Structure 1
Amino acid sequence: MIPNGVTPADDQTAADIWGWTLGHWRDTKHWKKIPGLVLLREGGHRRGRVFSREQLLAAHTEEERAKKLNVLPAYDLPPVPAADDPNRGADPDDLLDLEEALHALPKERRVALSTWKTYRYGDKTRLPEPDVVLGGKTVDGQIVGGIELWRRRTILEWDANRPARGGPKGRGRPAGSKDRAPRAGTKQGEERRQEVRRLLAENNRLTAKALAEATGVHPVHAERLLREARIEKVRQMLAGNPDLLADDVRETLGLGVRAHAQKLLNDARASTTAP
């Protein structure tokens, strides 16, 4: 959690403050050498560290002062509220990562973490866009691959407008609608989709990992683009053969699991707009 009033900063921001490369900052683990520097979010596999920008700036200023005077740094960093301080209430402007956002909800409103993660990129239930994204890069008009953070109020307001289980349906396409085609996107997005169609036509065994490497998109985004292209391909096959079988789909798309082919076939049939 990033307490309200603290400006979050990632490894790249820290490296920029010191005038170092990102690799040098990480290799030296300089953050461990600064007494009092709070690590707001631990780093790990595909998980970025988060610091207080205010503390980083203060630490760097002190190191520069000490260097000029040829003395040891005497760090006096701005305090950072402890996330687990029982005397500190839950501030609506605290910043939360994806897992923390789930636990900000009342217990009876929480879903499984695996389900919650699908809400981030879902096409039915979908979380609001993050309030802050550290790092990442812009793909098809969206920032992907960075550290995503939501204000507590953003998540709670979204949840307050989400239908309760067993309650009235939310807004969206009418129940039973066969028009499930994706809504129009940007010109850049369409160019990206055309590139995916081309790559899939050249290699029917194209994987999301290979697609991500070839196009420079985030792996999660690559999975979504590849699935869209495959369903489009199956719809084309259905147009020429209404009696298309899952085995035909598996062979054409080079799928190893028949169940995956059957799912694509089912979704392609469901997404076909009735005349």
Structure 2
Amino acid sequence: MIPNGVTPADDQTAADIFDMSVGYWRDTKHWEQIRGLKLLNRAGSRRRIYSKEQLLAAQVEEARAKAVNEQPKYDLPPVPAGEEHPDDLLDLEESLQVLPEDRRVTLSTWKGYRYGKKTRLPAPDFNLGGRKGEDGEIVGGEDFWRRQTILDWDDNRPGPGSEPGRGRKVGSKNRAPRRLTPEAQERRDRTRQLLDENAAGLTGKSLAEDLGVHQVHAERLLSAARKDKVRDLLKERPELTVEDVQRELGLHVVAHARKLLDEAGKALAEQ
């Protein structure tokens, strides 16, 4: 699964980032040398998938370490985990598991839906590693679907013996987002409070200790709170700059601040 908020990368992209051939990347298994690098692909899948953000951070650290003749000290950005998001990207087999158990078909039937005539899956939301053919169609690579895409498709798929038209109309959307549990909302509110009080000093580790949750979960809450804060700032100050975001959130990495600003801008444009 590719969690929402992560830019996926395959072996070719990884090799390009580290300025080596894809053959050398694979032969040396360089990914195993990067402490903390997380593989996103499902066990048994044919393609390794990485977080591009983690790869870029690892490459910068390796270049730094080489320049001063010391071993790399990897401090990679965390990969969100532990919570499901509607925009998580799932491969063909993972997308089947999203369905309620009583709505699942066999894997072979599901694969048949990929290019079926009577029952057919929706078009993939993303392709990793493919290339455009002469006709403009994507050739090769691996297809992924957003979690919500599959759930919406299933809402419109008749069950055994059902009449045509069961479920919501094609293209319909949830009228309101799923409601958080009181505990989840309390954690989000507390994260935002701590961020407003001391943005520069708040880390995933300190937040995890405050909330009593796993650090990975805390990192995800912190990331969401930062995005919300930048969106709120952008509403008040449309001229908000990357430097402003760095200063408000105590961020040292320009790329992280730029990504937050870009995502906040897109979120406001979609409202």
Name the TM-score class by shorter chain: 0.5 to 0.7
1:18 maps to 18
1:137 maps to 131
Q: Count the aligned residue pairs.
A: 165
- Could you tell me the TM-score, scaled by structure 1's length? 0.57
Q: How does 1:35-46 map to 2 (within 5 A)?
A: 35-41=35-41
Q: How does 1:61-210 map to 2 (within 5 A)?
A: 61-82=60-81, 85=82, 88=83, 90-139=84-133, 140-169=135-164
**Matching residue's letter, 2:37:** L
Q: CA deviation at 1:141?
A: 3.3
**Matching residue's letter, 1:10:** D
Q: Take 1:9 and 1:76, find their aligned partners in 2: how far apart are those partners? A: 19
Change (3 A) 1:106 1:44: closer
Counterpart contact for 1:128–1:154, Cα < 8 Å: yes
**Matching residue's letter, 2:104:** R
Change (3 A) 1:144 1:29: same
- List gaps (5 residues or longer) in structure 1: 172-275
2:52 maps to 53
Q: Take 1:154 and 1:43, find their aligned partners in 2: how far apart are those partners? A: 23
Q: Take 2:136 and 2:117, find their aligned partners in 1: how far apart are those partners? A: 17
- Could you tell me the TM-score, scaled by structure 2's length? 0.58
1:28 maps to 28
Runs of 4+ in 1 over 3 A off after TM superposition: 42-45
Q: Take 2:131 and 2:118, find their aligned partners in 1: how far apart are those partners? A: 25
**Matching residue's letter, 2:90:** L
Larger CA Rg, structure 1 vs 2: 1
Q: Take 2:132 and 2:159, find their aligned partners in 1: how far apart are those partners? A: 34
Q: Take 2:165 and 2:117, find their aligned partners in 1: how far apart are those partners? A: 13
**Matching residue's letter, 1:165:** P
1:3 maps to 3
Q: CA deviation at 1:150?
A: 0.8
- List gaps (5 residues or longer) in structure 2: 167-271
- SS of residue matched to 1:149: strand
Q: CA deviation at 1:3?
A: 1.2
Q: Take 1:12 and 1:109, find their aligned partners in 2: how far apart are those partners? A: 37
* Percent identical residues: 66
Counterpart contact for 1:43–1:49, Cα < 8 Å: no
Q: Take 1:131 and 1:141, find their aligned partners in 2: how far apart are those partners? A: 16
- SS of residue matched to 1:40: coil
